[in-house]
Structure 1
Amino acid sequence: MAIFTSQTPMLKKEEVKRPWYVVDAKGKTLGRLASIIAYRLQGKHRPDYTPHVDAGDFIVVINADKIKLTGKKLDQKIYWRHSGYMGGIKLTPAKKMLNKKPEEVIRLAVKRMLPKNRLGRKMLKKLKVYRGETHPHTAQKPKALEI
């Protein structure tokens, strides 16, 4: 009787190679784009995915101001935050948020799809979102990621 002792390989954080990718958000739907970005930030696209190791890629999103929302979300979707004081809720409609801070719209959509723990916060730091065509990460030689 043969005994196989081969185990599933567990990835170590020192072994991880994190490539850089650039994503053009022009004309893309917010939720569909955010789910793909969250998937890549977690490293779930890799064959050696390990849940407790941050093995995801760096993602640079350009043209954040040209993202689109489907249906009536532009008028009805509301972003809210709370100051912590009684009556301290701050409501911002999606239309106003897209005009003022389109980077924040994409960042929040991705953040809410990541794990809610230390590892999720570490993954979110690998997401870089920019309003226009240019970004300061050309030295990292990011490859284009088609979505």
Structure 2
Amino acid sequence: MAVPIALPPSLAKKILEEARKRGVTIEEYIVDFLTRDFDPSDRAREYVEVALYLLDRAREELKRGDVRQAAEKTWGAAALAVKAYAMWKDGRRLTSHGELWDYESLIESELGEWVYDAWMAANGMHTCFYEGWCKESHVETAIKHVEGLVKTVAQRLRELKNR
């Protein structure tokens, strides 16, 4: 369930600036901040929940015709899936694009080459957000790839919880 939150414009502007400075979505910035004191498995689960939410939002943005916002939300979902895997597997908090790229390679070695395809699709979406070159069909395809990554990570977390 999404709950709208009203913030003073000055605070909303600062949050947006910080998220942009870090190259993350607003949702990713906020979930990082709010879960900083959670234990690693709970934090990983929150990352996955927000990733799934972002994919739903990406689809909504596409329906409204906002390809750039849909693309950025798709990127955010992939980044959070990688962060969730790192938190779940190693209790490690990834804080930079470089760390995300390094960790994607580890996930790919564990889960398969298809992870690379999902990651590259997501990164194309990140570029699309800034450059605006992609089409609706590109975002639709990227969502499918990223959804596979997010759902696989979610399944891994559920398996851990059930042990």
The TM tier, using the shorter chain, reads under 0.3
TM-score for both structures, normalised by structure 1: 0.27
Could you say which structure has the larger radius of gyration? 1
Higher relative contact order structure (alpha carbons within 8 Å, sequence separation ≥ 6): 1
* Structure number having the greater helix percentage: 2
More strand by share: 1
Report the TM-score, using the length of structure 2 for normalisation: 0.25
